[in-house]
Amino acid sequence: MIGIGMGLTFYSSWAKKKIGLFVGIFASIVLHSLFNFFIIKTGDSGNFFAVFGALWVVTIITMLLFEKLRRMGEEYRALRKEDTANLEIQNIKYVGQQ
């Protein structure tokens, strides 16, 4: 969760990075607390699979968020390549005009 919070704000300003870090820490604390609460609440009553079912839902959502982060990185690298290529073309045109 902390990594997702930091990753989603990686290309943002310093203030947004700080907020992303705190949101990630808060989400981690909340999810861990909920998991512990449900484990204590169910005990031996047989709802053990319901707790792990909910945990799997959170796991799938986390995996989807990490996939989004991976794609954000690819898009950023592609934009950087385009910017570099455009800058090189502009430099060639400028040198040719002299």
The domain locations on the chain are: 2-93
Point out the least confidently predicted range of 13-22, 60-69, 87-96: 87-96
* Mean pLDDT computed over 88-92: 58
More reliable by pLDDT, 56 or 90: 56
Q: C-alpha dihedral over 40, 50, 35, 18, to 10 degrees?
A: -160
Listed residue (62, 79, 70) closest to 10, CA to CA: 70
39: Cβ contacts below 8 Å, ≥ 6 apart? 51
User: In this predicted model, what pLDDT tens digit does every residue of 17-52 receive, in sequence order?
Assistant: 899 899 999 999 998 898 888 878 877 666 777 778
Residue 96: the pLDDT is: 52
